[in-house]
Amino acid sequence: MKRRNALIYLITMLILAVTVSACGTSRPANTKKSDEARMKTIGIIGGVSWQSSIEYYRLMNEMVAAKLGGLNSAKILMYSIEFGEFSKQERLANQGDWGPLRKTMIDAAQRLKRGGADFIVIASNTMNSTADLVQKTVKIPVLHIADATGAEVKKSGIKTVALLGTSYTMEQNFYRDRLEKKYGLKVVIPDKAERDYINAVIFDELCAGKFKQASRERFVQIIDRLVKEQGAQGVILGCTEIPLLIKQSDVSVPVFDTTKIHSEAAVQYAFDHQ
């Protein structure tokens, strides 16, 4: 009798074990990746200058934390170019010799790719003039700052926008043509004396971490003139250092902060492109 009861107990336990196991394996697996797992790694070419690179890093991490909550932050790789040597390469480029500068940009992108970056943002409006070349050469997506900015201005409904930046950004076609042809915007720029002044402030003050009230006031005067005389309905702060000097509260028309806009585009791309 005892043997029979023991056998019945053993069979019962085996049936129970099989049932529990079957229930455990019959549940559909959750194949959906969490936001954290599906976040791509952002590669930043920074150091041009490091003053604005800090803002990129801060903004991207704040945006990811706001999106995911808790202790979450962005997956970021940054290669910071040594700006002293790079500024010499910029001067050579202005004289027509682009070789050294392009070599530096491609090398920075290759380092980020080898490090595991899924795509790249160049933390400089001016250096986005090399974005298409970098993407073609390194075979990794590069989010062009003018595309992010153009889309934002177009979304606002503004048709005529002022562009402030380095002399190269204001005068060359790589930025203005993209805004006009791809996004249907009319772009107005300061006159020659104003462009020279803005360029000098960027390199002599902002890139060195100097933010002077006199420079702020002069920038505002230039913007006001473009609004009154050339019909600008908004202003693109087309140098990633200018938003460190000029804020929305300083001017009467909408301000398009390219550092913030570019950072937002990068975070969105990190989650939306699989």
Instruction: For residue 256, give the H/E element and its range.
Output: strand 255-257
- Quick one: fold of 146-257? Rossmann fold (3.40.50)
Beta bridge partners of 42: 76, 119
- The predicted pLDDT at position 124 comes to 94
User: Is residue 22 pLDDT above 60, yes or no?
Assistant: no
Q: What is the mean pLDDT of the chain?
A: 88
Q: How confident is the model at residue 128 (pLDDT cuts 50, 70, 90)?
A: very high
- Quick one: fold of 36-144+261-272? Rossmann fold (3.40.50)
Q: How confident is the model at residue 15 (pLDDT cuts 50, 70, 90)?
A: very low
- Amino acid identity at 11: I
Dist CA 250 CA 116 (whole Å): 40
The rounded percent of the chain whose pLDDT value lies above 70 is 86
- The predicted pLDDT at position 84 comes to 87
In this predicted structure, which of 27-31, 205-209, 217-221 has the lowest mean pLDDT?
A: 27-31
Domain-wise residue ranges, the chain = 36-144+261-272, 146-257
Q: For residues 207 and 83, is the Cβ–Cβ distance under 8 A?
A: yes
- Amino acid identity at 79: Y
Query: pLDDT tens for residues 135-152?
Result: 999 999 999 999 999 999
Query: pLDDT tens for residues 185-204?
Result: 999 999 999 999 999 999 99
DSSP H helices, the chain, are 2-26, 35-38, 50-68, 83-94, 99-115, 131-138, 145-156, 167-171, 173-177, 183, 192-204, 213-230, 258-272
146-257 and 36-144+261-272 share a CATH fold: yes
